[in-house]
Amino acid sequence: MTDKNAQAEEFVLRLDGISKRFGALTANSGISLGLRRGEVIALLGENGAGKTTLMNILFGHYVADEGTVEVFGEPLPPGNPRAALAAGVGMVHQHFTLADNLSVIDNITLGTESLWSRGNGRAAARARIKALSRDFGLAVHPDARVGSLSVGERQRVEILKALYRDARILILDEPTAVLTPQETDALFDTLRRAIAAGLSIIFISHKLHEVIAIADRCIVLRHGKVVGEVDTHSTDRAKLASMMVGGEIALPEAEARAPGPALLRLNHVSTRAKGTATGLRQVTLDLCSGQIIGLAGVSGNGQAALADLVSGLVRPDQGSIEIGGRQPIVWSPREALRHRIARIPEDRHKTGTISDFNLTENAVLEGYSCPPFSRRGWMNWRAAESFAKDIIAKYDVRCQGPAQRIRLLSGGNMQKLILGRVLEPTPKIILANQPVRGLDVGAIAYVHSRLIAARDAGAAVLLISEDLDEIQSLSDVIHVMSEGRLSPGFARGSMTAAELGLWMAGQGFEGGEDAA
């Protein structure tokens, strides 16, 4: 920081006036920013603030409607990932862009040699990858099949892909979402080595403490616009947070209540791993009436398996499920519904709704086979439509009417319809899997208040979330999942985030070796 002017001219990357619209939605609006050599910028913002869109424009996945990108003083041709790569931009995507059935070497060298050449052979590539692994602390076996790697290892492959191409600018999109706190530390170590080697980094996140830990400067996006830029050394989490959401974050403080009887019990349940998804290992859990059980953990540690189990999509391979004191003979989604389990799925587009169906059809997707929606195999569309109208009114679903196709609804309104569908039959048990992911602040508060109201009415709620703040503010009891195992339950307020983080990293489990 000796000569400000010299620094300013050393912008390795400049974005100028970037705007991008998708139909009616403005994802980016007049965004400008500059990245200096050896600097880490954090791009902070809520889901849907436009961070990922901006980076996809920079990388050439999208073409901006307006604005320019300059790398090392040269304008970058739009819509061309190859040009971005050639200019030294490397991107670590939030959803890894790796081919599972190919080896680490294949994934890294893909596209680095002329397609019409014979290739330089694997020996040279292997040696180069090993050297990079050593220099940047990215241990991974070059010949392993990517499908056999852990999530953390895959991220290392993604970073290696960029380094192998001599990237000078590294963009990481929500890199810590899939990491334990310990793996996050290792990632930060890698990033510091990269900075020391002269790289510059853009780090996208919505986790404030990480931003403060790694970034020099922080640029806050809201609704597609830059709303602030601060030096991270002179700010704190509260200030950043209020900049990010445009006001104080109001997480509801649900009052603790005495639990009622257990409505659903899992006794030492194990399930097989499905592809790359972790299975459950000896999970024992009671869901009690009038209680919110929060399930914390790094994604990919068996939460999906637990959700599938409670939804009825998978049966236990070992152990048993007990509902209302009895073990169901068959276990299926329909059986789960019959036992009045409300299921809010993780992915509302792919599993929660049928996008080509209208609101009425989606409203009765789970209940269509019972009266009043059908009798003896004949649908009663009048009853279905009035049910849909009830939900629209009661849950404030903004739409043109029950005959509108659901794919035209916003995420929040889609989620409200799902809420109405599952909560209207007054469920005994509620499975809420990432219920507020991708929603705006208003919708988040609404969903949370509904869950608390259902709990107060006596339902047992299982809340699965990757957001520790959400878990801590809503749950009566918190469990942590790691590698398919379930921690004991911790009463609200009895554990700090750091302590939960250790459990998330796999420490403390019975007979459990430390994951780090």
Residues that bind another protein (CB under 8 A): 22-24, 56, 61-63, 78-79, 81-86, 91, 93, 95, 97-102, 106-107, 109-119, 161, 311-313, 332-334, 336-337, 343, 345, 350-357, 361, 365-366, 368-369, 374, 377-379, 381, 408
Q: What angle do CA 56, 437, 95 make, to 5 degrees?
A: 40
8 Å CB contact between 171 and 92 = yes
> 122-136 and 151-164 helices cross at what angle (nearest 10)?
110
Least spacing, CB of residue 342 vs another protein, in Å:
12
- Considering the complex, state which of residue 17 and residue 488 has its C-beta at the smaller distance from another protein: 17
CA distance linking residue 152 with residue 155, whole number of Å: 5
- Considering the complex, state which of residue 327 and residue 400 has its C-beta at the smaller distance from another protein: 400
8 Å CB contact between 475 and 492 = yes
- Considering the complex, state which of residue 162 and residue 436 has its C-beta at the smaller distance from another protein: 162
CA distance linking residue 57 with residue 21, whole number of Å: 12
Rounded to a whole number of angstroms, the distance between the first and last alpha carbons of the chain is 36
- Considering the complex, state which of residue 109 and residue 200 has its C-beta at the smaller distance from another protein: 109
- Considering the complex, state which of residue 16 and residue 100 has its C-beta at the smaller distance from another protein: 100
CB 474: neighbour CB atoms within 10 A?
23
Least spacing, CB of residue 17 vs another protein, in Å:
17
Structure tokens at 414: 């889609």
- Considering the complex, state which of residue 141 and residue 165 has its C-beta at the smaller distance from another protein: 165
8 Å CB contact between 357 and 405 = yes
- Nearest in space to 316 (alpha carbons), one of 301, 327, 300: 327
Least spacing, CB of residue 68 vs another protein, in Å:
15
Least spacing, CB of residue 356 vs another protein, in Å:
5
CA distance linking residue 175 with residue 454, whole number of Å: 34
- Considering the complex, state which of residue 336 and residue 397 has its C-beta at the smaller distance from another protein: 336
Question: 66 has which bridge partners?
Answer: 19
8 Å CB contact between 484 and 301 = yes
Least spacing, CB of residue 329 vs another protein, in Å:
16
DSSP designation for 348: I
Least spacing, CB of residue 97 vs another protein, in Å:
4
- Nearest in space to 262 (alpha carbons), one of 283, 294, 284: 284
Least spacing, CB of residue 295 vs another protein, in Å:
19
Give me the DSSP letters along 330-387.
Answer: S--HHHHHHTTEEEE-S-IIIII--TTSBHHHHHTTTTTTSTTTEETTEE-HHHHHHH
Least spacing, CB of residue 110 vs another protein, in Å:
5
Strand 262-270 relative to strand 283-288, pairing = antiparallel
Backbone angles phi, psi at 310, to 5 degrees: -70, -30
Least spacing, CB of residue 460 vs another protein, in Å:
20
- Considering the complex, state which of residue 77 and residue 247 has its C-beta at the smaller distance from another protein: 77
- Considering the complex, state which of residue 48 and residue 290 has its C-beta at the smaller distance from another protein: 48
